[in-house]
Structure 1
Amino acid sequence: MTIFVLLPLSFFVFIFLILRNNGENGIRHAILSTSIIYGVSLTFITELFSIFRLITRGWISAAWASAFIIAGYVFIKYNKKARHPLNVTRIPRFLILLICLIAFIVAAVGLIALVAPPNTWDSMTYHMPRVMHWIQDHSVAHYPTSMTHQLFMPPWAEFAIMHFQILTDGDRLANCVQWFSMIGCIIGVSLIAKQLGAGLRGQIFASVIAASIPMGILQGSSTQNDYVVSFWLVCFVYFALRIKKTRTGLADFLQTGISLGLAILTKLTACFYALPFFFLLFWFLLKRFKSKSWKPLVLIIAIALVINMGHFSRNAALSRSLAYGTAAKQRVVNEIYGFQFLTSNIIRNAGLHLVMPAKRVRDKMNMAIKSLHGMLGIDMNDPRITLPQPVKYTGITRISFGEDNTGNPVHLALILLTLVFLMTSRSLKPKADGVAYAVVNLAAFVLICFTVKFDPYQGRYHLPLFVLMSALAGTVLAEISYKRIMNLIILICVFYSVPWVFRGNPRPLIGEKNIFNMPRIEQYFRTRIWLKDYYVEMASFVKSRHYSEIGLLAAKPWEYPLWVVLEEDHMQKIRIEYVGVDNISAKLCDTYPFKDFDPQAIVSFYDETAFEDKKIFNKNISYIQQWSSGPLKVFIRDRSQFPEK
């Protein structure tokens, strides 16, 4: 790990100090504002340098060094003396206990993020491989690939990982992007709770609820993007609520637009969560600015679009679509609409969080779900509203510690309890604001169910909902007069989540094979451990021949570990490019720098029975199979036709 990574971190610290010492809104507000400045700065650096193919350690380091120097100069020359000494408020012992529990969860997740390598399924196939291709190409421009997710999916989380990867020359900090976002969400929901009328107790309750979400605990140490998009949505919602609550100026409008833009640039599900809040924001602006309300609205939309312009333009140039390629869009978007189909998706999506350990009870609940679908006249796995999966959806499952399919049953119950209290209690302070906030969050959930095909593994798509609703839950529960009962409920949330801290799969803290006693190379293969020996043997063969130009022939490859095993202890710089691409990105094979790629060896990744050829061709050059084991084969140039490169 190199010292270059201190440059962006120092920039963050200086910006925070400037905003904290010259602002009136406190430390938490300054942290969110600093994060927004950091996020848009990282986007600007990435997009600008990508145009000129300057994404290298030298140029990225120079960019962050310049930003650090400018921020340091502003801090030293224009910074006012701190006029906001830390307010020491007497905090009840129970709230201190809750803060300590939050710190424990955050620290444990951070330890996992630092020690464990990236090993999430999606990270192996597209999150991390796209980072490696960008670094290799010195640009975030699209490239030929058999895995088009690497191209069309929003890239901000991977932008951030790429900067860490370049500055540290490795993936030791790759998981920290989600971890930092987790911390930001815990801070941000307390501010949202404050906007909803919560006092100190309600704000801490909100943070505890957010910190203890099982899915969030697992996501906080991964290289996926669900916590990152949750954080930008938290920022967007917070600044949108500030527009209603305070006499905000241009800064809040700018931060609202930037947050929205960064959320969309991170994950498209942000659109579903942001749209209902956007209508609520429009109502706020209409009440405040009357006929001139369109001006700040246009500003916010324009900023969000500008931030996404680079990614949208790359997608449009390749597929004539801003977001997905046509095939991907047809795969994930519902093909039919109606009350019965929406009801099915709502039931099944909610059911992802209704885990039940007792088999007898679980079977009865699943029979009820099946009967309800029979009454609706549709199949539980109707392909028009369900993503195809190897295993059919059968209903509610047992408790899982896997990051792809864990549920949040206690937090779901807590949200439902909050809604009951909100609708039945007459004494709650944030009654109107709380109801409006609940409605827009539930509308976002319904919008996802209405638009997106059901997937048994999409429980993580709901993480922003659970995070945002934590603010309302904390606010409402803190107002209930039964203090001891509410305290007990909050403690149940925390202690229920502890097993996910220690036993989270695929990065457990304890157990026979945990992140401390399992070799790092094995941890990359944690979810497909049977592949490890094949990859290591293949890499040994390639290295023995001193090959550095590697072609990859695969439909859905387990790609990132290929980079890891080939680059480990290799004296030469490795270049890996896809060959035999037959999708929309194939046209890029004839563009720079891919048109001149002439691999010394081609690695194929296919099921043993699906690819039996002993000879393949690439650009009219024949390659002969020289090594094979399991799903991997290595082909080298046919020496009878061409001399080996």
Structure 2
Amino acid sequence: MIVVPLLTFLAVACLCLPRDGGIRLALLRAAVIVGGAACLAVEALSAAHALHRPVVITCWVLALLITGGFAVRSSRRPVLDLRARWASLAAVERLMVAVLAGLFLLDLVVALIAPPNNFDSQTYHLPKIEHWVQQGDVSFYPTVIDRQLAMAPGAEFLLLHLRVLTGGDGAYNLIQLAAGVGAVLAASRIAGQLGGGTRAQLVTALIVGSTPMVVLQATSTQTDLVVALWVACVATFTLDGLHARSGAFDILLIGTAAGLTLLTKATGLLAAGLLLAVWTVAQLRLARWRGVPGAVAVGALMLLLAGPNLLRVQDTYDNPLGPAHLRESISMQRHDPAAVLINALRVAETALQTPVGPVNDAIAAGIIGLAGVLGVDPQSRDITYWNEEFPYLSWPPDEDRVSLPAQGVLVLLGALLLLFRKDTRLYAAVFWVAVLVYVVTVKWQPWGNRLIVFLLVLGAPLAGLWIAGLTGRRIATWATTGALAVGVAAGGFAVAYGWPRRLVGHGSVFTTSQLDQRFIREPGRQRDYEWAADAVRASGARRVGLVQGYNTWEYPWWILLPGTRIDSLQSLQPGLTPPGAAELDAVLCVKPPHDCEFYLLPTWTVHRRNDVAYALAPLS
């Protein structure tokens, strides 16, 4: 069934092909249209409590028949003369294409073989999909892990389609892989829109596609590449509207891409919002009052896509951004210049950290010393994620933290130098303002490097233009080529040895069982989870209650107990009452805030093994 969405996407791409034959633009348009339609379908089917396999399959088949029929009848066909294009490339450009293709092919192997095993996905990204499938809609449910509800669900809406169509999670990793490819296409197109030729566009693509965080995220069920793709789509579509009035189709694309950004991750709006403001001003300048309806339409599309979820969050937590403790754990509580400066320096140190320990230690010590001089506590909860401490070892190739020193430095230098060039200064200014807004609003956190992927994609075209324009400057050319080579090598190393999915070494996707890979982050949990699940399954329990901590892995229970109804016995949501033990056949407990007996009837007997416990309903 996964072929049906793929063919639908290709049919839409054919229908979106511009008259000049721009295949990149057609693919990006199709990504936004199909992504937006998929998210709207989730909300529509949810409203009818119809998120069930027969209905979803029917919707996709109808979509394929309609789009495929129009595509067959359309006179527009993509013309791919690959041989001629390859022959037109210089040797170094062919090398860049080969490297990019090799990295993404290796990522494809990992994505297809490895099961989802991202830490956050075990806790909240993937369990909420199982709850949606279980109840047939995306309405909120009782849970102690409120991130399952309060965090924006755009990427999970896309995963939900794969889950319902295929009946499992085997295709989950392909969403982020597709988003990574899309981000490369969008960034390279932006380079072309800013005046870059073939080499500038390929350098841009290589910078994005070889970044360790990108190649590692491209095989995961995180959401950072998905939001980076939507932000990049907003950027490339709005750039088209800076010098020509946007038509209805252009406005549809811009509004849908912006809506998907808001629905996927609010941090992406820090850049997308700036791009929309620049586009709106340009449209008003070009068409005066006639540009107002377009801006209003973009806002309406954003609300159409993200509004239903924002209303659910508002109704549950009295704030569209979620509960106070979750907001305050991420957003800056100090905004004075000294606090913002220290936050920015810590974000930069973590993002640009190298394997050279003494250098890292000296830089971190300098930042901490400066903080003392400025009267800022570098570990203060006002500017630091709760219970975390700066500095943090970020350079190892781990999908949650890996730094990007080579690509990051190239992007920052390119953005700085092109800020003074007439044809790129507006775009460079938007990039720098987005960076500033980020460090003003988002606290430093150890895993912050994955949150800034959208900024990397947004700034990569500036690096590509700068590097491609260095011809004739021998020292600068050699220096940037060396930095780019180091960055590419780091990307290749991340694919081969990255964690928690790697091609070679201990824990290789080729030599480690599927279940072992799911627990590879914390293998000590596996035997206890299996022990409890075996006992519950052997009892014939049909409805199981779950008692767990705030950061507990919930998703493995859905894998170990397929076909079992699982409900939380805890709730942090006012008005959402969990079931009682009397309604259940069994209860599973993992690091609960109270002893497991707190949630049970007196006649239930608890069986414990380390941090895991289970209890079965007494036989009547």
TM-score scaled by length of structure 1: 0.91
Cα distance, 1:272–1:40 mapped onto 2, change above 3 Å:
same
1:588 equivalent in structure 2 = 576
Aligned length: 612
1:309 equivalent in structure 2 = 307
Matched, 1:632 2:612: yes
Q: Secondary structure at the match of 1:551?
A: strand
Q: Secondary structure at the match of 2:546?
A: strand
Query: Is the CA contact (8 Å cut-off) linking 1:366 and 1:396 kept in structure 2?
Result: no
2:4 equivalent in structure 1 = 7
Q: How far, CA to CA, are the matches of 2:52 and 2:205 in structure 1? A: 38
1:603 equivalent in structure 2 = 588
Query: Is the CA contact (8 Å cut-off) linking 2:188 and 2:461 kept in structure 1?
Result: yes
Q: How far, CA to CA, are the matches of 1:317 and 1:81 in structure 2? A: 46
Q: Which of 59, 67, 70 is 2:66 aligned to?
A: 70
Q: Which of 352, 367, 388 is 2:365 aligned to?
A: 367
Q: How far, CA to CA, are the matches of 1:82 and 1:294 in structure 2? A: 35
Shift of 1:27: 0.7
**Which amino acid in structure 2 is aligned with residue 472 of structure 1?**
L
**Which amino acid in structure 2 is aligned with residue 80 of structure 1?**
S
Q: Which of 505, 508, 524 is 2:502 aligned to?
A: 508
Q: How far, CA to CA, are the matches of 1:448 and 1:374 in structure 2? A: 23
Q: Mapping of 1:153-172 within 5 angstroms?
A: 153-172=151-170
1:427 equivalent in structure 2 = none
Q: Which of 469, 476, 491 is 1:479 aligned to?
A: 469
Q: Secondary structure at the match of 1:526?
A: coil
Query: Is the CA contact (8 Å cut-off) linking 1:105 and 1:501 kept in structure 2?
Result: yes
Matched, 1:55 2:51: yes
Q: Secondary structure at the match of 2:134?
A: helix
Cα distance, 1:222–1:85 mapped onto 2, change above 3 Å:
closer
1:493 equivalent in structure 2 = 487
Matched, 1:565 2:599: no
1:428 equivalent in structure 2 = none
2:523 equivalent in structure 1 = 529
Shift of 1:501: 1.2
**Which amino acid in structure 2 is aligned with residue 584 of structure 1?**
Q
Q: How far, CA to CA, are the matches of 2:618 and 2:182 in structure 1? A: 55
Query: Is the CA contact (8 Å cut-off) linking 1:623 and 1:635 kept in structure 2?
Result: no
Aligned-CA RMSD value: 2.1
Q: Mapping of 1:245-264 within 5 angstroms?
A: 245-246=243-244, 248-264=246-262
Q: Give unmatched runs, 5+ long, in structure 2.
A: none
Q: Give unmatched runs, 5+ long, in structure 1.
A: 425-430, 568-572
Query: Is the CA contact (8 Å cut-off) linking 2:179 and 2:226 kept in structure 1?
Result: yes
Q: Which of 403, 407, 431 is 1:407 aligned to?
A: 403
Q: Secondary structure at the match of 2:112?
A: helix
Shift of 1:487: 4.6
**Which amino acid in structure 1 is aligned with residue 165 of structure 2?**
L
1:300 equivalent in structure 2 = 298
Query: Is the CA contact (8 Å cut-off) linking 2:418 and 2:462 kept in structure 1?
Result: no
Q: How far, CA to CA, are the matches of 1:277 and 1:81 in structure 2? A: 30
Q: Secondary structure at the match of 1:588?
A: coil
Q: Which of 356, 365, 386 is 1:358 aligned to?
A: 356
Cα distance, 1:81–1:53 mapped onto 2, change above 3 Å:
closer
Q: Which of 2, 9, 19 is 2:16 aligned to?
A: 19
Query: Is the CA contact (8 Å cut-off) linking 1:112 and 1:515 kept in structure 2?
Result: yes
Q: Which of 194, 202, 205 is 1:204 aligned to?
A: 202
Cα distance, 1:453–1:285 mapped onto 2, change above 3 Å:
same
Shift of 1:363: 2.5
Cα distance, 1:505–1:49 mapped onto 2, change above 3 Å:
same
Shift of 1:398: 6.0
Q: Mapping of 1:339-358 within 5 angstroms?
A: 339-358=337-356
Shift of 1:61: 0.2
Q: How far, CA to CA, are the matches of 1:30 and 1:102 in structure 2? A: 20
Structure 1, 536-545 or 479-488: larger mean CA deviation: 479-488
Query: Is the CA contact (8 Å cut-off) linking 1:164 and 1:173 kept in structure 2?
Result: yes
1:548 equivalent in structure 2 = 542
Query: Is the CA contact (8 Å cut-off) linking 1:261 and 1:305 kept in structure 2?
Result: yes
Cα distance, 1:363–1:533 mapped onto 2, change above 3 Å:
same
Query: Is the CA contact (8 Å cut-off) linking 1:616 and 1:624 kept in structure 2?
Result: no
What percentage of aligned pairs have identical amino acids? 26
Cα distance, 1:495–1:580 mapped onto 2, change above 3 Å:
closer
Q: Which of 459, 470, 479 is 1:469 aligned to?
A: 459
**Which amino acid in structure 2 is aligned with residue 308 of structure 1?**
A
**Which amino acid in structure 2 is aligned with residue 432 of structure 1?**
K
Q: How far, CA to CA, are the matches of 2:415 and 2:305 in structure 1? A: 36
Shift of 1:313: 1.8
Shift of 1:85: 6.4
Shift of 1:263: 0.8
Show CA shifts across 1:140-159 (max 9, x none).
11111110110111111111
Matched, 1:225 2:223: yes
Q: How far, CA to CA, are the matches of 1:80 and 1:292 in structure 2? A: 32
Query: Is the CA contact (8 Å cut-off) linking 1:622 and 1:638 kept in structure 2?
Result: no
Shift of 1:623: 5.5
Query: Is the CA contact (8 Å cut-off) linking 1:119 and 1:525 kept in structure 2?
Result: yes
Query: Is the CA contact (8 Å cut-off) linking 1:282 and 1:297 kept in structure 2?
Result: yes
1:114 equivalent in structure 2 = 112
Query: Is the CA contact (8 Å cut-off) linking 1:313 and 1:322 kept in structure 2?
Result: yes
Shift of 1:331: 2.7
Matched, 1:45 2:41: yes
Q: How far, CA to CA, are the matches of 1:397 and 1:599 in structure 2? A: 45
Query: Is the CA contact (8 Å cut-off) linking 1:186 and 1:211 kept in structure 2?
Result: yes
Shift of 1:309: 1.6
Moved over 6 A (4+): 594-597
Shift of 1:287: 2.4
Q: How far, CA to CA, are the matches of 1:398 and 1:39 in structure 2? A: 32
Cα distance, 1:339–1:491 mapped onto 2, change above 3 Å:
same
2:385 equivalent in structure 1 = 387
Q: Secondary structure at the match of 1:527?
A: coil
